[in-house]
């Protein structure tokens, strides 16, 4: 799956939140109010790629997300980790520990999640 542009991601975020929306509903939710045709082009492109579906009401369409938010998040996170941390989860966690001043309680929660994951998904 290709990365979404900033505006495509903004439209998808709105659709995930609203679940179904007409173009004017999407524009209403946007901080900057782009022209109707701009947003219409974005959702039509997303629909052509199968990321958004629609129901027709005469000449207008009500759009809904086909792409699940969790699926997009997982793909975006994998890309992020690959681009900035060489795909290494330990490099990512090391960065947070060093640069983001993660408190000891948060580290304990992360370690507990790792232990649960190892218990539920033992390596052969």
Sequential DSSP letters for the chain: -PPPPHHHHHHHHHHHHHSSB-HHHHHHH-SS---HHHHHHHHHHHHHTTSEEEEEETTEEEEEE-S-HHHHHHHHHHHHHHHHHTT-HHHHHHHHHHHS---HHHHHHHHHHHHHHHHHS---
Please give the angle made by the CA atoms of 110, 116 and 117, to the nearest 5 degrees. 90
Residues 16, 54, single domain; the answer is yes
pLDDT tens digits for range 57-83: 999 999 999 999 999 999 999 999 899
For the cut 70, the answer to whether the pLDDT of residue 123 exceeds it is no
User: Which pLDDT score is estimated for 83?
Assistant: 93
pLDDT tens digits for range 17-34: 999 999 999 999 999 999
What is the C-alpha separation between 117 and 124, in angstroms, rounded? 14
Which pTM was predicted?
A: 0.76
The residue segments making up the domain with residue 16 are 6-65
Count of the separate structural domains present in the chain: 2
Residues 26, 61, single domain; the answer is yes
User: Which pLDDT score is estimated for 98?
Assistant: 82
Domain annotation covers residue 13 = yes
Share of the chain above pLDDT 90, in %: 65
Residues 59, 93, single domain; the answer is no
Residues 61, 107, single domain; the answer is no
Average pLDDT over residues 109-116: 84
């Amino acid at each position: 799956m290709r990365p979404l542009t900033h505006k495509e991601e903004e439209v998808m975020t709105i659709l995930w939140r609203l679940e179904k929306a007409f173009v004017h509903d999407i524009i209403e939710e946007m901080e900057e109010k782009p022209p109707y045709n701009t947003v219409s082009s974005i959702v039509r492109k997303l629909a052509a790629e199968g990321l958004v579906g629609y129901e027709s009401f005469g000449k207008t369409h009500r759009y809904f997300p086909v792409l699940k938010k969790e699926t997009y998040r997982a793909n975006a996170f994998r890309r992020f980790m690959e681009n900035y941390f060489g795909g290494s989860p330990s490099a990512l966690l090391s960065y947070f520990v060093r640069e983001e001043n993660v408190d000891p309680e948060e580290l304990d929660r992360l370690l507990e999640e790792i232990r649960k994951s190892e218990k539920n998904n033992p390596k052969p």
